[in-house]
Each structure stands twice: as structure tokens, then as C-alpha cells.
């Protein structure tokens, strides 16, 4: 039998030259974004004041299957891609499982995560359009770091609104973001109407992605030459992240493998949407039938306990409405929840696929996730991000099931990033101070009762 190496690297000239748009192969498309003022599907003209034009086009395009990656973005990708596909031999041995476990490692760049895959094209298109600045939000900090890197490279000033509790938990994120010349503001802040309104209601709020999005969008639409960019949830972001899945599929093909199970953590859905893209294409076109699994925190369970409904993408209710699995745009996850995966909604593409039965979802409490993170760090010698560790937890549990049934399944999961800025959370785990907060049905119901009445 052919020996499979620990790390499978594609040659540089095999970086995908096109992104794959999963929507093109969906017979039933995701529901369109709605303009909250009219209740009608948004148009390019609606989106252009907020997003740069090419990105707005990508957002609305449900039919073009492949988009050429611009040459300057390919040059940028070459600095850290192709990323390795790794066979988890040591983890397999430790678990004594017949399963073959592979992971696609996206943490080999300064931002420490997959977020750079979308940051680079977003900064590039904005610069190419002649825009003069960008704004964004960041939760755990990886997106803000990635976008700061990309904006610095392509020469665009950037303001980052960072969710306040993460800003306080991870002071060194600020230093990294400032290294790339971006400005960083803890959110909610008094610099925007949205921030001031949220603070007036709850001065002690620890913030949420939804609040930070409101602030960033408001700044973009009130500043000439400025646009807003988002690191997850949107169709365009899933499109850019398809490089993860395309490279994974090609590397697996090179070693004669195909996954029985594909697992990814799910915050807003960008890494998962990107990782599964070619495998979901096979599923949608009847070529293969892999089991596709989204893993989310029990503290912010949009797929497993949310509602499939039209909702605002932000807390201040200024964005378009997206039909997605949501916990309500006012939902603020417990501050005790470490890391990202704190978003109230889920990508409309993934929400539709989940709703139509093409994938399943599981949720875990964070102490189970950190147990898996520590086990993985010891066996594979990579310190994983808490977000990525949700996928690790599910992969380990699938491999344990294989040990029990004797099935030698091939498992592929996304290792989206490293956890070097998450040491406070690791420390809390080591000290036994980790709190597994799970919202009650009543709390979720209170938030869901505020959903706008569009369906």
C-alpha cells in the first residue's frame, strides 16, 4: 500500500486559479437578501454604498460557478498557500482508531487563520476601485488581523471595531493590528450612533459581533470613499474561502483518498462553506455522498437551536435582512464563551443547505472543546484556536465511533487557526475555571421574539 506522508503540500502552481461558487450548483438557491426599507430583494445599487462594486456583484451572483482569482491576489496567496493537508497519524494512534484523520491547516500565516483568504481579495478589489479606506468588525481578532495585513499590503487605511470582551481578553491583538497600521476601537464605542444607542441601553455590555458590525457599517456609509467589509457569513466570503476546499480535494485526490466525513467549526460559516465547497458540489451533483458536519458552540447555537427566518445581520438593524438560522440579532452570547463563533446567525448558503438536509450540525460545551484542544496539541504539536477545536472535538468523537464499530472512515476536518492569542482561555481551562454556559429556552425565545416580521 502506498505510504501517505504526514504533510501533503501541493506545488505552488497548483494553488486554485479560480474560486468555486457553490450556489451555482444548488438547485434551490439561498433566499435573497432583502432591503429592510422595501422588503424587496437587494439590488447592486442597494449594496454599492456599503460594499465595493465587484464584491457586491459576487454577493448577488447565484449562477456563475467559477470566478477568476485576480493575479495580485494569487501573488498574495503564494506567500502562505498552498496550505498543508496533514494526516493526523499521532492522534489516530492515541485514539486507537481505524479511522484515517486528515486536517487542512490554515494557521500558517501571521493572522493565524483562514481569514486571510478573503481579506486579500476584499482589500484588493477595494483598492482597485479607488476607495480610500475600509472599516470592519472583529470578534476574536483573527479577521481584524488578517484584514489589517491585507490592507497594509494593498495600501488602504483600515478601522477595526473589535468586540469589547475580546479586546480586553486579548490585548496583544491590538499590537499586531497596529503593526499593520490599522486603527482599532473596542465596540460598542461612543464613536457611532449605533454604539452610543447600545451603550445607553446597557452601559456594561461586553459587546457582540452584531454591535460591532453596526458600528463598522455606519462608519463606512458616513465616510466618503469608505466601504465596509465582513469576514464571514456573506456569499462572497464563502466564495473566497473555497480555496480551502479546492486545495483539500486536490491533495486528497493526489493520495487516492476521498472523505467519508467533512467537519468544520461554524461561526458565520466561512471556513466551513469553503472547506466543504467541492465535496458539497459532489453531493449536489450526485457524484458522492459525504457526511458534512457543522460544529458550533452550545453557548451560541444558531443551527442547532436557532430559527430559519429573515433577520438583520447586525444588532443596530441597519444591514439588509438575510434568511438564515438565527438566534435573533439582539442575542449576545455569554462573555464566558472563549474565542469566536459568537455570531447570532449563519451564512444563508449553509442555512439553506442545512435546512434542505444536505448537512448536519452538532454543538459542544466549551470545556469538552478545550479537552479536545489540549489532546490535539499534545499529539499533533499544534496549539489550536478555540474555534478550530470545535471541529477537532467532533473529529475525535467520530474517530472514537469508528473504534467502536471497526469502520475505517476517512475524516477530513478544517484546522482553521492557531490559539496563541487565546491563552487566557487555555489558562482558565487549566485552572478548572471554564464556565459552560448554555442559554435557556426562555432566553432564546426572548431573543427570537424580536425577529422582524418578514418571511
102, 220, 176: which is closest to 421 by C-alpha?
Answer: 176
- Strand 291-297 relative to strand 261-265, pairing: parallel
- 385 part of the interface to ligand PLP, by CB under 6 A: yes
Give whichever of 97 and 109 is closer to ligand PLP, judged by the CB atom: 109
From the list 97, 113, 145, 299, which residue makes contact with ligand PLP (rule: CB under 6 A)? 113
- 428 part of the interface to ligand PLP, by CB under 6 A: no
- 22 part of the interface to ligand PLP, by CB under 6 A: no
* Sheet hosting strand 158-163, strand order edge to edge: 183-187, 158-163, 133-138, 226-228
Instruction: Output the nine-digit C-alpha cell for 382.
Output: 499544534
Contacts of 42 (CB under 8 A, 6+ apart): 32, 33, 34, 35, 60, 320
Contact indicator for 321, 310 with CB cutoff of 8 Å: yes
From the list 144, 340, 345, 439, which residue makes contact with ligand PLP (rule: CB under 6 A)? 340
Contact indicator for 66, 231 with CB cutoff of 8 Å: no
Least distance (Å) from ligand PLP to the CB of residue 289? Answer: 24
The distance of Cα 318 from the centroid of its chain, to the nearest Å, equals: 22
* Alpha-carbon gap, residue 159 to 171, rounded angstroms: 17
Question: With CB under 6 A as the contact rule, which of the stretches 96-104, 261-269, 304-312, 444-452 interacts with ligand PLP?
Answer: 261-269
- 271 part of the interface to ligand PLP, by CB under 6 A: yes
Question: With CB under 6 A as the contact rule, which of the stretches 14-22, 260-268, 277-285, 398-406 interacts with ligand PLP?
Answer: 260-268
- 206 part of the interface to ligand PLP, by CB under 6 A: no
3-state helix, strand, coil in the chain (%, to 5): 45, 15, 40
Give whichever of 82 and 267 is closer to ligand PLP, judged by the CB atom: 267
From the list 30, 139, 290, 320, which residue makes contact with ligand PLP (rule: CB under 6 A)? 139
User: C-alpha dihedral over 9, 14, 18, 20, to 10 degrees?
Assistant: -40
Question: With CB under 6 A as the contact rule, which of the stretches 64-72, 167-175, 263-271, 360-368 interacts with ligand PLP?
Answer: 263-271
* Alpha-carbon gap, residue 112 to 68, rounded angstroms: 25
Give whichever of 135 and 416 is closer to ligand PLP, judged by the CB atom: 416
- 326 part of the interface to ligand PLP, by CB under 6 A: no
Give whichever of 83 and 271 is closer to ligand PLP, judged by the CB atom: 271
- Burial degree of 60 (CB within 10 A; 0-12, 13-18, 19+): middle
Other residues' Cβ atoms within 10 Å of the Cβ of residue 455: 9
- 388 part of the interface to ligand PLP, by CB under 6 A: yes
From the list 239, 266, 303, 451, which residue makes contact with ligand PLP (rule: CB under 6 A)? 266
N-to-C CA span, the chain: 54
- 270 part of the interface to ligand PLP, by CB under 6 A: yes
- 313 part of the interface to ligand PLP, by CB under 6 A: no
From the list 268, 316, 320, 348, which residue makes contact with ligand PLP (rule: CB under 6 A)? 268
Per rule CB under 6 A, count of chain residues that contact ligand PLP: 21
From the list 121, 188, 417, 439, which residue makes contact with ligand PLP (rule: CB under 6 A)? 417
294 forms beta bridges with 264, 361
The distance of Cα 296 from the centroid of its chain, to the nearest Å, equals: 11
Question: With CB under 6 A as the contact rule, which of the stretches 72-80, 195-203, 269-277, 282-290 interacts with ligand PLP?
Answer: 269-277
Give whichever of 72 and 186 is closer to ligand PLP, judged by the CB atom: 186
From the list 56, 198, 265, 425, which residue makes contact with ligand PLP (rule: CB under 6 A)? 265
From the list 47, 148, 341, 394, which residue makes contact with ligand PLP (rule: CB under 6 A)? 341
User: Which residue in the block uniquely carries the three cell numbers 438564515?
Assistant: 324
- Burial degree of 65 (CB within 10 A; 0-12, 13-18, 19+): middle
Chain contacts with ligand PLP (rule: CB under 6 A)? 113, 139-140, 142-143, 232, 265-272, 340-341, 385, 387-388, 416-417
Amino acid at each position: 500500500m502506498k505510504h501517505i506522508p504526514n504533510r501533503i503540500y501541493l506545488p505552488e502552481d497548483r494553488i486554485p486559479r479560480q474560486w468555486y461558487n457553490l450556489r451555482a450548483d444548488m438547485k434551490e438557491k439561498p433566499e435573497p437578501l432583502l432591503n429592510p426599507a422595501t422588503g424587496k430583494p437587494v439590488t447592486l445599487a442597494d449594496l454599492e454604498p456599503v460594499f465595493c462594486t465587484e464584491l457586491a456583484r459576487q454577493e448577488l451572483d447565484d449562477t456563475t460557478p467559477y470566478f477568476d482569482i485576480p493575479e495580485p491576489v494569487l501573488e498574495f496567496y503564494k506567500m502562505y498557500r498552498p496550505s498543508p493537508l496533514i494526516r493526523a497519524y499521532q492522534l489516530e494512534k492515541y485514539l486507537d482508531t481505524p479511522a484515517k484523520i486528515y486536517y487542512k491547516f490554515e494557521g500558517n500565516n501571521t493572522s493565524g487563520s483562514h481569514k486571510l483568504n478573503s481579506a486579500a481579495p476584499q482589500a484588493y478589489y477595494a483598492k482597485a476601485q479607488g476607495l480610500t479606506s475600509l472599516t470592519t468588525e472583529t470578534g476574536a481578532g483573527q479577521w481584524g488581523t488578517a484584514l489589517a495585513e491585507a490592507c497594509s499590503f494593498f495600501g488602504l487605511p483600515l478601522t477595526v471595531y473589535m468586540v469589547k470582551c475580546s479586546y480586553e481578553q486579548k490585548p496583544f491583538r491590538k499590537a499586531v493590528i497596529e503593526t499593520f497600521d490599522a486603527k482599532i476601537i473596542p465596540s460598542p464605542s461612543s464613536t457611532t450612533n449605533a454604539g452610543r444607542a447600545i451603550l445607553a441601553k446597557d452601559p456594561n455590555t461586553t459587546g457582540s459581533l452584531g454591535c460591532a458590525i453596526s458600528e463598522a457599517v455606519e462608519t463606512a456609509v458616513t465616510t466618503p470613499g469608505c466601504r465596509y467589509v465582513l469576514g464571514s457569513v456573506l456569499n462572497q466570503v464563502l466564495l473566497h474561502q473555497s480555496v480551502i476546499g479546492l486545495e483539500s480535494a486536490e491533495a486528497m485526490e493526489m493520495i487516492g483518498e476521498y472523505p467519508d466525513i467533512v467537519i468544520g467549526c461554524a461561526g458565520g460559516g466561512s471556513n466551513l462553506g469553503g472547506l466543504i465547497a467541492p465535496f458539497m458540489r459532489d453531493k449536489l451533483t450526485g457524484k458522492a455522498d459525504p457526511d458534512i458536519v457543522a460544529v458550533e458552540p452550545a453557548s451560541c447555537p444558531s443551527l442547532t437551536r436557532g430559527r430559519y427566518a429573515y433577520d438583520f445581520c447586525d444588532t443596530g438593524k441597519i444591514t439588509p435582512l438575510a434568511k438564515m438560522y438565527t438566534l435573533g440579532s439582539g442575542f449576545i452570547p455569554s462573555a464566558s464563551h472563549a474565542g469566536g463563533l459568537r455570531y447570532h446567525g449563519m451564512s444563508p448558503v449553509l442555512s439553506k443547505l442545512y435546512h434542505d438536509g444536505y448537512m448536519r450540525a452538532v454543538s459542544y460545551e466549551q470545556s469538552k472543546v478545550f479537552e479536545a484542544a489540549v489532546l490535539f496539541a499534545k499529539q499533533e504539536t499544534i496549539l489550536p484556536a478555540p474555534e478550530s477545536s470545535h471541529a477537532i472535538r467532533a473529529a475525535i468523537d467520530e474517530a472514537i465511533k469508528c473504534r467502536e464499530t471497526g469502520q475505517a472512515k476517512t475524516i477530513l476536518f478544517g484546522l482553521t487557526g492557531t490559539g496563541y492569542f487565546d491563552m487566557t482561555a487555555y489558562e482558565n481551562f487549566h485552572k478548572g475555571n471554564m464556565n459552560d454556559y448554555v442559554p435557556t429556552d426562555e432566553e432564546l425565545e426572548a431573543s427570537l421574539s424580536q425577529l422582524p416580521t418578514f418571511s
